[in-house]
Amino acid sequence: MKYENLAKQIIDLVGGTDNVNSVYHCITRLRFKLKDESKADTDALKNLDGVVTVQKSGGQYQVVIGNHVADVYKAVESVGGFSANSDQNAEQDDEEKGNLFDRFIDLISGIFTPILGVLAASGMIKGFNALFVAVDWLDDTGGTYQLLNATGDALFYFLPILLGYTAMKKFGGAPFIGMVIGMALVYPDIASLTDADDPLYTLFEGTVFASPVQIEFFGIPVILMTYSTSVIPIIISTFFAAKLEKFFTRVIPAVVRMFLVPMFTLLIIIPLTFLAIGPIATWVSQLLGEATTSLYALSPIIAGLFLGGFWLVFVMFGLHWGLVPIAINNIASQGQDPILALIFVHSFALAGAILAVWFRTKNQNTKTISVPAIISAIFGVTEPGMYGVALPLKRPFIITIITSALGGAALGFFGTTGYVVGGLGIFQLPSFIPNEGGIDMSVIGAALSAVGGFVLAFVLTYLFGAVNKIENTVEATETGTDTETDNTTSGVAPSTTDVTKGKVLSPIKGRTVSLEDVSDPVFAQGAMGDGIAIHPSEGEILSPVDGVVETLFETKHAIGLKTEGGLEVLVHIGLDTVNLEGEHFEAHVAQGDNVSIGQPLITVEIDKVKEAGYDIVTPVIITNAAETATMKKTDTKEVAQGDMLLELS
């Protein structure tokens, strides 16, 4: 490990692992919370090769590293044996920010982000495999199909295992404990019991909650459900598992903690999941199935509104499994089923919304993930688009739900009915063709509803999706100019050929301040590099250069850019604002994005940051300024966005 020796020295000099309550990092610093700061050797740390300086502030012992702090942090975490619960996410256990919906979106997005690439790839493989069967290129009983199906479907079938890892990490627990919980949920010998025809007995027989019991746990009945492809059960399980792990870590002696903590955590949480979390989801899904059937009997249009609109939500919670048995039973007993037909439009609505996102977004990562997500959605695989694009952006997800509801109502109006179970997305359409009589209005209506849902979702998302989450300024409202598409609204001209590689423009409007006058000694002493600071009067941060986003910390209080000419520019919004944990900050770009001069980067609510007690002064630093010959700084006291700030040669 490149920074292993440095990490060992830092840990020793802060007083050893036993002196560390927690450690996380911001964009330039390791932020320790020490039990006793007097045990830390500050002078030795300051002189340590690889450490810029040390600062004590706000109850934190800050070891300033520089741009490679993330790599050093990983080494410190590994060498010190600090689990992910020392990370900043763990600091939020008792101080969740935002409303419930925002927190839920943040949670789901954070859990799914690490697997988005392979999720999209798997969805495309599943879709194309279905296409090859539909056009008779492959036989669905042949070996080629089976191998391709395993390749595309493996992630979805074993999704609880992957989510066990990412969710446990999100909750600050040991990821491999989460994986084992996911493995238990899809364990073959347990999963196969759900298909058994001879249960031990049936609980609540004769009611809507009738549940066959295949096994017992110390005499307690276990109500099984299908956990493959499910999302919410594993997330709930890992949430409680992380809490249990932290409890056992506190009470179990260190000498046996390594194996006893995971053992007790698993022994409690896995049976609890099967005994409580699973049954609750099973009963809710059964109730949903009965309610939907009754609603369809009352009004197919209302049933379509309900089922079409909430289908994606049901999938997230695993509740859709309550409808599948009803559909299968309907086809077996009546030769047709109208229930699952009502969900036909949802994947096309999602595809349309994502296509609009692709057109509108300035985030290259979002644009990249959108293409396979669109293809997957058309083929009926919605997870990549839902978790990777629509849900994190919120409005596209809401628009998809509304459009799917309208599509479901249209399907109810046309009387669209399924005659076989099989096929998703575009491949579900043939299942609506009656065995006798050929294509009728119900089939034509289904096709029209799908096209209409796609177009409507596209238009609504394109116009109202707030894909870049940037509101128009007052000037834009007055002039009718949209700041998403016209940077001149903010007073900054688009990048032109006269902007050289050595110039850095002002990213924000405000009053300039000498870097030496900034109250944070790390910036004032030039430890991070040379530059200038600005007391902002507005909260919109624009890109001061053409370049790439090299660093964007999750709290969005600072961003690092690198130009084609090699200049490394750091814009640090406020002092110690990392402690706000992202509150009052909103990022409009992602790490790895290419950005142009004048492009919005971050929006900050200045007044609220000040009310929280933080200095909003914003240093603009060239972190590799020592590699340049000279730096000319503006002598203008008041700068507007786009004014010349620094010139290097």
pLDDT digits (tens, 9 = 90+) for 553-587: 778 888 989 888 788 899 999 988 887 888 889 88
Q: d(Cα 558, Cα 587) in Å, to the nearest integer?
A: 10
At 451, is the pLDDT very low, low, confident or very high (cuts 50, 70, 90)?
very high
Provide mean pLDDT across the span 62-76: 81
Q: Which of 237-251, 382-396, 484-498 has the lowest mean pLDDT?
A: 484-498
Q: For 139-147, what is the mean pLDDT?
A: 91
Distance CA 393, CA 560 (A): 23
Confidence check: pLDDT of 510 > 80: yes
List the end-to-end C-alpha distance of the chain, in Å, as a whole number: 36
Question: What Å distances lie between residue 618 and 35, 473, 513, 572, 621, CA to CA?
Answer: 31, 21, 9, 5, 10
Could you tell me the pLDDT band of residue 475, with boundaries at 50, 70 and 90?
very low
- Whether residue 305 has pLDDT greater than 90: yes
Phi and psi, residue 426, nearest 5°: -65, -25
Residue of 238, 232, 239 whose CA lies nearest to 278: 232
- Average pLDDT rounded to a whole number, residues 392-414: 93
**In CATH, 4-82 is 3.30.1360.60:** yes
**Residue 50, pLDDT above cutoff 60:** yes
Lowest mean pLDDT among 142-156, 179-193, 368-382, 465-479: 465-479
Strands (E), 39-109: 53-57, 60-64
Whole-number mean pLDDT of the chain?
A: 81
Average pLDDT of span 219-242: 87
pLDDT at 469 over 80: no
C-alpha distances (whole Å) from 445 to each of 172, 296, 377, 411, 420 are 49, 18, 20, 7, 18
Q: Residue 510 to residues 306, 376, 444, 602, 619: CA-CA distances in angstroms?
A: 51, 47, 60, 16, 12
Same fold across 4-82 and 500-648: no
Report the share of the chain in percent with pLDDT over 70.
85
Least confident of 178-187, 230-239, 409-418: 230-239
Asked if 472 and 537 touch (Cβ cutoff 8 Å), the reply is no
Q: Is the pLDDT of residue 183 over 80?
A: yes
Q: What is the per-residue pLDDT for 437?
A: 64
AA identity, residue 70: A
Mean local confidence (pLDDT), 404-430:
86
Query: Would you give the distance in Å from CA 86 to the centre of its chain?
Result: 21
What is the CATH T-level fold of the domain 500-648, as seen in this structure?
Glucose Permease (Domain IIA) (2.70.70)
- Show contacts of 608-612: CB within 8 Å, 24+ apart: 608/583, 608/584, 609/574, 609/577, 609/580, 609/584, 612/580, 612/583, 612/584
Going from N- to C-terminal start, the domains of the chain cover 4-82, 94-151+299-467, 158-288, 500-648
**Res. 315 pLDDT band, cuts 50 70 90:** confident
The pLDDT, as a whole number, for residue 328 is 64
Active site positions, annotated: 26, 572
394 CB contacts (<8 Å, ≥6 apart)? 101, 105
List the one residue out of 521, 523, 518, 553 whose CA is nearest residue 625: 523
Mean pLDDT of 2-18: 88
Report the pLDDT value the prediction gives residue 422, as an integer from 0 to 100: 62
Residue 323 clears pLDDT 60, i.e. is over it: yes
Determine which of 25-34, 107-116, 391-400 has the lowest per-residue pLDDT on average: 107-116
227 has a pLDDT exceeding 50? yes
Range with lowest mean pLDDT among 148-157, 344-353, 361-370, 614-623:
361-370
- Which has more confidence, 414 or 102? 414
Q: What is the DSSP pairing of strand 600-604 with strand 585-587?
A: antiparallel
Q: What is the pLDDT of residue 103?
A: 67
